[in-house]
Amino acid sequence: MAQIFDRSSNALARMSLVLTGILVIALGVTLNELQRSPWVTRQGQRPDQPVPFSHRHHVQGLGLQCQYCHTSVEKSSYAGIPPTKTCMNCHAQIWTNADLLAPVRHSWATGESIPWIKVHDLPDYVYFNHSVHVNKGIGCASCHGRVDLMPLMYAQNTLQMEWCLNCHRNPGKNLRPTSEIYNMAWKAPSEEKPVWCSVTDAKTGVPTAQSVSCVTDDPTRNGATVASLEMPTAPGAGTGQAGMGEAGGGGMVMPASMMYTKFTSQKALGDFLIDQYHIRPPNQLSSCETCHR
Amino acid sequence: MATRDLTTVDPRVDPATGELRVLAPGQSFKSVTAKIADIVLTPHTSLGWLMLFSIGGAGATMLLVAVTWLFLKGVGIWAITQPVAWGFAIINFVWWIGIGHAGTLISAILLLFKQGWRNSINRFAEAMTIFAVVCAGLFPLIHVGRPWLAYWLFPYPNTMNVWPQFRSPLLWDVFAVSTYATISVVFWYVGLVPDFGTMRDRTKSKFGQYIYGMLSLGWRGNVKHWMRYETASLLLAGLATPLVLSVHTVISFDFAVAILPGWHTTIFPPYFVAGAVYSGFAMVLTLAIPLRKVYKLEGLVTDRHIDNMGKVMLATGGIVAYGYGMEVFMSWYSASHWEFFMMWNRMFGPIGWSYWMLIACNIAIPLTTLWVRKWRTNLAFMFVMSLIVNTGMWFERFVIVVTSLYRDFLPSSWGTYRATKWDYMTYAGTFGLFLSLFLLFIRFVPMIPMHEIKMMLPAAKVKSEAVEAGD
Amino acid sequence: MALPREGTYGLLAEFDTPTALVEAAKAAHDAGWRRLDCYAPYPLEEAAEVIGFHKNRVPLLTLVGGLMGLCAMFSLETWISTLAYPLNIAGRPTYSWPAFVVPAYEWTILFAGLSAAFGMLALNGLPSLYHPLFNAPNFRSSATVDKFFLCLEATDPKFDRVETKNFLEGFHPNSVVEVEY
Amino acid sequence: METGNEQGQKAGLTLAEVRRGLAGVKGKKYWRSIDELAGTPEFEQAVLKEFPDAAQEWVDPVSRRGFLKLMGASMAMAGLAGCTKQPDEPIYPYVKAPEDLILGKSMYFATAYPSAAGALPLLVKSDAFRPIKVDGNPDHSYNKGTSDAYAQGTLLDLYDPDRAKKTTYRGDNRQWTEFMETWRSKLIAAKSNGGDGLALLSATVTSPTLARQWKEAQAIYPKARLVQYDPVSRDAVRAVLGAKDVQYSLTDADVILSLDADFLSGSSFPGFHKLTREYSERRKLATGAKDATMNRLYTVESTTTTTGLKAEHRLALKPSEIPAFAAALAVALGVSGAAAPSYAWTDEQARYLKALAADLKAHAGKSVVIASEQQHPSVLSLALQINEALGNDGKTVFFTDAVNPMPTEQTAELKALVNDLWSGKVDWLVMLNANPVYDAPADLNFKEAMSRAKVTVHLGKHADETGSLTDWQIPASHYLESWSDARCYDGTVSVVQPLIDPLYESHTAHEVVQAMLDEPTKSAYDAVRETWQPVLSKSGDGKSADFEMNWRKVLHAGWVDGSAYEKAATATVAKVNAPTPVGKDAIEVQFRPDPTIYDGRFANVGWLQELPKPVTSLSWDNAALMSEGTMQRAGLAEEDIVEISVNGRAVKAPVLVVPGQPENTITAYLGYGREAAGRVGSGAGYNAGLVRTSDSMAVATGATLKKIDGRWGFAVTKSHYQDHRSKFAGGQGTGNNSLEADEALTRGIIREATLEEYKADPGFANEGETHPKVEKEITLFPNWDYSTGNAWGMSIDLNSCTGCNACIVSCYAENNIAVVGKQEVRIGRNMQWLRIDAYFEGDLHAPKAHFQPMACQHCENAPCEQVCPVGATVHTPEGLNTMVYNRCVGTRYCSNNCPYKVRRFNFLLFSDYETESLKLMRNPDVTVRSRGVMEKCSYCVQRIEEAKIAADKENRPVRDGEIVTACEQACPATAITFGNLNDKTSRVHALHLNERSYGVLADQNTRPRTRYLAAVTNPNPALMESPVEVAPTAG
């Protein structure tokens, strides 16, 4: 009887074994990439909106404040989509005949809503609250990116759970003074561009922003003669526990206006603000019930 | 003395040992090969096989229907409810897995103990294991509320940054059962490689040669290969032994780790394992007795096998009985009201009959009769007995799962349990699946390991002087 | 090694009984043959012994595999529960090692078993669907059934087509055939 | 999964759209198609033959949802993250936004739920102008924020998909204006003859404005008439007190006697909220053991109610014996002119009477006798005389004007009306929110009588039994959709203001009656304002004030200040003599408002249908409730169908045994056997009204029972299994005591002591074999540290809880809990997160009962968490046992390992994703759970998070009482307290330290965060030989 298989079959057999292995791995890698790909997350995609609204034009060009349209961002879980009226406030006077704005005028005339398409669309079982983030020193840009540079709106981030946790596990790296929340161009402090913050001793019951005030140009130059080395570094007997009583920087004697601490790194600023704003510790921020109910 | 008489009266007995023969006399390398290989190689498929296969197929189809409906509607089509949130699915799961254990036990543990008689039955016992595990593995998958998310039980990197919870016995199951399935398949296949070689060399059809050729990986009986092969088989056996013990131990943890009276019991691991072997051997008998008859294998699967399996059942059955006994004893000795009430409720509660059912099938009937060799070697009797025992073992799981759950801590939440047609269809369906798989096996794979049988033939002995010669 | 070669692979002698094979193999080995192999339809320890094959490395592979499985799973569990996403589960400590034992144990066995099986095949150089011996007509018909073969290979320095043939016939085999690549 | 959130906002924003969607949608049948059949015994038999739970699966086709689920599956597989790739979601912003609206923040409006028993002041939560939660008005002195099952249920009543949607004339659609034309033209025609032949039949008028409107109409049409009728009338009060009402105050009552008055189990009894609060306040034992004082409750009743089971001493009497007993008591207390019919009381009864009389005497002036309004008038009359004799008047008993503006004896009036109908004197019959075809006394044969009228009009929320027969059917507005007003128990006027535009083209009684006046189209809003103009135009001291400002104040507060009635210490009480009891062997049938669906008006409210009734735990049905003795004598078994013949009429009813029911007494709850209630209510139970006649509205005597073929499948949510344990197993083996309670006591689940025992041994709740104290230190692994931050916990006072079910319905509404339907409940798949366990102790003929609200205990060592393979249920740093629905794969292992069995599983797709109107109702802050997911009580985590965020923004800790769970909020007995255990000043912290505080099954070392306060009873030593209630003599 002759051979069943010819010489090459040995090589083939072994090759196929190796190939199967490679294929399995490849499949795994692909799926892993796929679940994070824009195809799934919609990251960076610009859906066709009824009106090609340009944030860049309105924010950077005209300098509109975020809250002018997104009115409830500080008060409610929902930042708010402006009613047609908001558009008409201006567009009753300007660009009254622009074809682009036809849907707006139609809506205004008929009283039917403008059917926008949601760009930042969380799953329905995720309970995100704008107000607490904005009040605790997370700037718009931290999640939405440089909206002021977006001609058409798109999602800067994946908005996936891992992305949320990334910050909830280490909030410090994204914290900024509440006075800078709407500042799209805010940069983390550095040796070149330090940040000076002062604390009026925070009593409980007052909104977060009021206890800390920060400036980006050296306050000592205009009069205040206090050297920052006299400052207690990052004042903070704060428990880091929201509202658990005594806030950081309590026992300071000098008038608040004069006591500025200089920060030259986001790390330092983050730790300082975590104390001042009573940011909850990571184990609480990454606990399930924070987002799922 | 006795042996002398036996030799005269009973041809089945080996005059040398006085034991029943493992193999009938007059087998040769060629005859063995022919006998076993030709069952597979014959081109004509018997009508009986076709009929049985269509029955199996029908069953499997029913299973498919039941599962489809399940996926469409939800587990609510089963009887499970509050407080009995586990029902047939888990019972069948444990039952099938248990049955699987005999195969591994025969092929592994008996191999380690150098029990030659195992060789005739280990191949299809292992096959039975694998198919039983297939049926068993089905249930954990379909019994979850959202089966399309069942893959969440495996640790894999995901965008949620969440992982399985390793304190849960269910997760231990995932690893235990998957390992068990994998190792069983590997062990089985390794055992098959040389026989595939034989098939390759015996089959006439070109196609057959290709298929068996590939499956045999080009086995050519090189004695060095044989040596490594033997080592590997021994190692696999050595690994499979702790594995088979661990699997049912882990499954018993599903209950033992919970705090429920009737589940929270330290004795579960041993008596689950014993019970598994018990039911497993019963199932081997259920399969072996007809096979032997249909394919005229009396020469290879002799009364010795039936007899020995009877003995094993006697032993394991004894352990199980001890387990039941201890449960009752502890419920009194622990002086714990929970335990006491649980046991009372098991015996005399609304569905106490199921407890007595299992006592009858697992202890009363078998443990009184299996002592007698005459009955142990009576095929009809053993066949019936094997069915009885497996019924009993099913009820054991029923009692553990249901009667512990339906009356637990808070009397206010007591309920009851009534199986639905979907429960029965799913259960029956797995028999169909098992049957069809098993039939395919005996049609296309040599059901008895030829090389291991050959080793046992007298002709296989090398005359000792040959080795010393010339030194 | 799968390179196609030309010429003779070796001489193949067929025997009826294991004893005959073992005797022949022993003689050949004593005569200084080193490139030789025996073939039998079932494990024939004596044959391997006499041609000087005593121990193999399968056990070592198995051990290594087992240890790998153990470490892999246990460290995965520990990492997940204490570092990746530490959660309060029923008030248990995040590092609940007793619970981690079970999966680690299972993976030990899994990896060990796989390494044993695949290690064995690898060491045996399987799969090798094509092999010169299959060219020998009588080999394929009976090697895996009931006949016993001794093959003296051409790569052995002592190999000489004529002498070797005579040498083999000295053991009264059923046949001695020349095997081509 | 989906939340109300997104679609909530969408819906809220385009109400018009939703209305369009609502037109004629047939919603998902969560009540399962077969439930419509469920009434018929044939069906039940078929079902019982095999697999009641699976039968339906053949019936209903594979649903679209089913396929979607499968698609979801494959998609889930694709995007490994588990959440599928979402389709584009649209946003519909306002065109002009209401300036006071902040989307995502709820608003609260004060209103009131009007009912014949007195209005309930409410504060309703509104999300994007959709009312999503009804709760009591916390500022109102009457209910102090508490509510009840009915009021909670009215929310689902508003969104009921089966409500009438269009005005119809003989079945085809018409416009409201068309009706107004016909109605007006009729009125104009009728003006000449003074409105002769005009008859209005209304449910009890509760609105002063409506009363005013009618008075004015009466002036124009003197011959027209308005008849009020409710199947549950207050005629007894009218008979005894005329236009007065009686009010009780339990604050100073040391001894309370209830004469068949079920004032603790639900708001069908006037003043329920106030009475329950005052009753429980006297049982809080806040002062600690040493100088602990409590009130003592005696209940003499004719069927088992929670009031009876809460009583220290309960006496079960046949309905007809109650008046005689009252009389006997009056005599014993020396009430002048009281005469008791001679009757052979058993020794037990006599002894009870003696001890009771003595106790009342001893507490003259500090006691109160409360009488039922559903009894023979003599009971109320005698009760009031006794109170007078005891000098309780002015201390615990007061008299005011009637709460209802037009108090009448309704049954008599209805009779008269029907006679006129027969004699053809009525040509226009206008029915306002009444359903007489269903609930008028059977002997009046209203259906026929109605057809004698030339034109019949029905204004009703549903095209019900009546509405489907009348010429005109007009959709009535729900009280949350329309303007009105009403007086609550103490007479304070509440303005009923709408929370939402009418969902359908519905109208109000105000508009119909207004049409009879000079300004026929004046809106209800203007009418109400007009009514209160004079009052609100002057300030307290009579000087004139700015009406608009006061009006706005009223709308804000919800009530008109100082409009409460004068409380008089005396009133003229008509003396009514007690009739002689009919004898012990005569079978009596008594009719009672149903504890969950009242008189049937809530029949289509799924929450209330599925709500297990107190005492029986029966849901989705009513039954012929009888004692075991009665049942056996009639040769019946439970679930048998019995034919009850009385008053020459017969009705078929299923049999259910009630512990403690007096012999030969059958209790029939009204409101069931509806034919046109809607998809939920139709076909549930049997119609007791079929044997209720105008002369036996409360009790019908001389009934005969006949067993007929067929069996009924009850959905009883707890097994009421009787003990058959043999002696060796520790059972009494009498077959006559409840195994559950025996076990509950042995296992230390229920812990109770008498006042004396408590004083002697304050720590009784944590001592002894069955009451083990658990040491936290004994542990294999280090305890988790909860000492910093918040640590949420709950305390439930078993002494206060009366098992009234308000908490459960409140939980339904707050947490979007699904209704599963009778068949699912029957096999134990009801989804309530919170249940009230009732354990009957001792002789089932005269049981003692313990009520125990049971929800997730939030164990620190939660057994459920450890066994979840995917970590879908975990512990939060603040000690919540939280359930992450969208992580759950549904192994149900957690439920198996939960010793409290408080977890609920979506075995099928129970949540309704299709019915438009129900989407409007959902709480947007709570995920709507889909199929295959486990769920359970979350301590209302959405409220916790809301409060935490508010507090965090203000840099302050969460204040005690800032977070109120839904159950706590509703509880009239203030039995539930939630708070932060780490806050040393919080109430719950103190309560957990209370010596009566114990954890259920704490010996399993689960360390529950919910703890219970052991109950303490205050029995009368004179009756202590049988501390348990007195068994009625087996007849």
pLDDT per residue as tens digits for the range D455-470: 999 999 999 999 999 9
Counted domains in chain D? 4
pLDDT given for residue C181 in this prediction:
80
Beta partners for residue D475, in sequence order: D460
**How long a stretch of residues is chain C?**
181
Q: Any idea what the Cα angle at residue D85 is, between residues D79 and D86, rounded to 5°?
A: 160
For C85, name the nearest residue in chain D, comparing CA atoms only.
D871
Beta partners for residue B305, in sequence order: none
Q: Which amino acid is at D741?
A: A
Residues whose CB falls within 8 Å of the CB of residue D902, separated by 6 or more in sequence, listed in order: D833, D835, D854, D855, D856, D857, D936, D937
Same domain as D789, residue D846: yes
pLDDT given for residue C72 in this prediction:
96
Grouping H, G, I as helix, E, B as strand and the rest as coil, residue C101 is helix
Burial letters D13-50, b for 16+ CB under 10 A, else e: bbbeebbeebeeeebbbbbbebbbebbebebbeebbee
- Probe site for chain B from A1, A3, A4 (most B CB atoms < 10 A): A4
CA-CA distance, A139 to A142, in Å (whole number)? Answer: 5
CA-CA distance, B118 to B22, in Å (whole number)? Answer: 9
Compute CA D643 distance to the chain's CA centroid, rounded to the nearest angstrom. Answer: 29
Same domain as D802, residue D754: yes
pLDDT given for residue D79 in this prediction:
36
Q: Which of C42, C48, C50 lies at the smallest CB-CB distance from B455?
A: C42
Contacts of A36 in chain B (CB under 8 A): 159
Contacts of D1007 in chain C (CB under 8 A): 91
Q: Where are the domains of chain C?
A: 9-52+133-180, 58-123
- Probe site for chain B from C145, C146, C171 (most B CB atoms < 10 A): C145
Q: What value does the mean pLDDT of chain B take?
A: 89
Note whether residue D267 is domain-resident: yes
Give the CATH number of the domain where residue D627 resides.
2.40.40.20
| Cα→Cα distances D657→D136, D610, D629, D852, D860, Å | 35, 20, 9, 21, 40
CATH topology of domain B24-466: Formate dehydrogenase/DMSO reductase fold (1.20.1630)
Question: Which helix (DSSP H) or strand (DSSP E) does residue B64 occupy?
Answer: helix B47-73
Across chain A, the runs of DSSP E, i.e. the strands, are: 116-117, 195-199, 212-215, 260-263
C-alpha distance from B252 to closest chain D C-alpha (Å) = 14
Q: Any idea what the Cα angle at residue C167 is, between residues C165 and C169, rounded to 5°?
A: 70
Same domain as D289, residue D228: no
Residue with tokens 């419509």: D36
Across A211-265, the runs of DSSP E, i.e. the strands, are: 212-215, 260-263
User: Touching check for C98 and chain D: CB below 8 Å?
Assistant: no
Give the CATH number of the domain where residue D427 resides.
3.40.50.740
Beta partners for residue B27, in sequence order: none
Same domain as D305, residue D452: no
Q: Which chains touch D (3 or more CB pairs under 8 A)?
A: A, B, C
Counted domains in chain A? 2
C-alpha distance from A57 to closest chain D C-alpha (Å) = 21
C-alpha distance from A132 to closest chain D C-alpha (Å) = 6
Q: How far apart are the first and last CA of chain B?
A: 42
How many CA atoms lie less than 13 Å away from B179 in the CB half-sphere? Answer: 33
Same domain as D733, residue D693: no
| Cα→Cα distances D587→A175, D232, D582, D694, D705, Å | 78, 22, 9, 19, 9
C9-52+133-180 carries CATH number 3.30.70 = yes
Q: Which of D91, D102, D878 lies at the smallest CB-CB distance from A76?
A: D102
pLDDT given for residue D733 in this prediction:
56
Q: Which amino acid is at D457?
A: V
Q: Which of D93, D104, D877 lies at the smallest CB-CB distance from A284?
A: D877
pLDDT given for residue A248 in this prediction:
38
**Interchain proximity C87–D875, CB inside 8 Å:** yes
Instruction: Specify whether the CB–CB gap between D1001 and D747 falls below 8 A.
Output: yes
Which domain-ending residue is among A146, A174, A202? A174
**Interchain proximity A111–D79, CB inside 8 Å:** no
Same domain as D591, residue D553: no
Backbone angles phi, psi at D136, to 5 degrees: -65, 155
Grouping H, G, I as helix, E, B as strand and the rest as coil, residue A209 is helix
Note whether residue D1026 is domain-resident: no
Q: Which of D164, D9, D176 is nearest to D503 (CA)?
A: D164
Question: Which helix (DSSP H) or strand (DSSP E) does residue D460 occupy?
Answer: strand D455-460
Note whether residue A31 is domain-resident: no
Q: Which of A213, A239, A60, A240 is nearest to A151 (CA)?
A: A60
Q: Is the ipTM of this complex over 0.85?
A: yes
Give the CATH number of the domain where residue D911 resides.
3.30.70.20
Could you list the residue range(s) of the whole structural domain that residue D317 is in? Answer: 245-400
Note whether residue D830 is domain-resident: yes
Task: Please tell me the least confidently modeled range out of A237-241, B411-415, D135-139.
Answer: A237-241
User: Touching check for C2 and chain D: CB below 8 Å?
Assistant: no
pLDDT, one tens digit per residue, over A7-29 is 889 899 999 999 999 999 999 99
pLDDT, one tens digit per residue, over D267-322 is 899 999 999 999 999 999 988 888 889 999 999 999 999 999 999 999 999 999 99
Instruction: Specify whether the CB–CB gap between D848 and D659 falls below 8 A.
Output: no
Same domain as D267, residue D182: no
Does the CA dihedral B430-B432-B433-B439 come out positive or negative?
Answer: positive
pLDDT, one tens digit per residue, over D793-816 is 999 999 999 999 999 999 999 999
**Interchain proximity B209–A4, CB inside 8 Å:** yes
D538 CB neighbour count, 10 Å cutoff = 13
pLDDT, one tens digit per residue, over B42-84 is 888 889 999 999 999 999 999 999 999 999 999 999 999 989 9
Sheet containing A195-199: which strands, arranged edge to edge? A212-215, A195-199, A260-263
C-alpha distance from D4 to closest chain B C-alpha (Å) = 22
State mean pLDDT over A188-214. Answer: 78
Give the CATH number of the domain where residue D320 resides.
3.40.228.10
Flag whether pLDDT at D722 surpasses 80.
no
pLDDT given for residue A206 in this prediction:
67
Task: Please tell me the least confidently modeled range out of A196-200, D495-499, D717-721, D950-954.
Answer: D717-721
Same domain as D200, residue D228: yes
Compute CA D192 distance to the chain's CA centroid, rounded to the nearest angstrom. Answer: 47
Same domain as D330, residue D395: yes
Note whether residue D109 is domain-resident: no
CA-CA distance, D130 to D10, in Å (whole number)? Answer: 11
CB burial of residue B465 (10 Å; 0-12, 13-18, 19+): exposed
pLDDT given for residue D44 in this prediction:
40
**Interchain proximity D86–A241, CB inside 8 Å:** no
Report the predicted TM-score, pTM, of the whole model to 2 decimal places.
0.90
Residue with tokens 């660009």: A95
Q: Which of D441, D447, D439 is nearest to D598 (CA)?
A: D439
Same domain as A152, residue A206: no
Instruction: Specify whether the CB–CB gap between A145 and A157 falls below 8 A.
Output: yes
Contacts of D877 in chain C (CB under 8 A): 88
Backbone angles phi, psi at C117, to 5 degrees: -65, -55
User: Touching check for A32 and chain D: CB below 8 Å?
Assistant: yes
Flag whether pLDDT at D249 surpasses 90.
yes
pLDDT, one tens digit per residue, over D188-222 is 999 899 889 999 999 999 999 999 999 999 999 99
CA-CA distance, D435 to D677, in Å (whole number)? Answer: 11
Chain B, window 320-379: residues with a beta carbon less than 8 angstroms from a chain A beta carbon? none
**Interchain proximity A124–D6, CB inside 8 Å:** yes
How many CA atoms lie less than 13 Å away from D664 in the CB half-sphere? Answer: 22
pLDDT given for residue D295 in this prediction:
94
Instruction: Specify whether the CB–CB gap between B13 and B3 falls below 8 A.
Output: yes
CA-CA distance, D932 to B427, in Å (whole number)? Answer: 21
Q: Which of B160, B156, D870 is nearest to A162 (CA)?
A: B160
For B66, name the nearest residue in chain D, comparing CA atoms only.
D57
Q: Any idea what the Cα angle at residue D316 is, between residues D310 and D319, rounded to 5°?
A: 120
CA-CA distance, A220 to A211, in Å (whole number)? Answer: 20
Same domain as D511, residue D479: yes
Q: Which chains touch B (3 or more CB pairs under 8 A)?
A: A, C, D
Q: Which of D985, D984, D980, D988 is nearest to D1011 (CA)?
A: D988
Instruction: Specify whether the CB–CB gap between D662 and D581 falls below 8 A.
Output: no
Instruction: Specify whether the CB–CB gap between D591 and D697 falls below 8 A.
Output: yes
Flag whether pLDDT at B467 surpasses 80.
no
Flag whether pLDDT at D980 surpasses 90.
yes
Does the CA dihedral D275-D277-D278-D280 come out positive or negative?
Answer: positive
Grouping H, G, I as helix, E, B as strand and the rest as coil, residue D976 is strand
Residues whose CB falls within 8 Å of the CB of residue D498, separated by 6 or more in sequence, listed in order: D111, D477, D480, D481, D482, D483
Note whether residue D372 is domain-resident: yes
For residue B466, what pLDDT band results from cuts at 50, 70 and 90?
A: low
Same domain as D863, residue D847: yes
Same domain as D817, residue D964: yes
User: Touching check for C88 and chain D: CB below 8 Å?
Assistant: yes
For B72, name the nearest residue in chain D, comparing CA atoms only.
D66
Same domain as A149, residue A73: yes
Q: Which of B75, B254, B412 lies at the smallest CB-CB distance from D839?
A: B412
DSSP string, D110-131: EEEE--TT-BEEEEEEEETTEE
pLDDT given for residue D735 in this prediction:
60
Could you list the residue range(s) of the whole structural domain that residue A155 is in? Answer: 55-174
Contacts of B223 in chain C (CB under 8 A): 37-40, 43-44, 47-48, 51, 53
**Interchain proximity A35–D948, CB inside 8 Å:** no
Token pair of A148 as six digits? 């002021």
**Interchain proximity B79–D62, CB inside 8 Å:** no
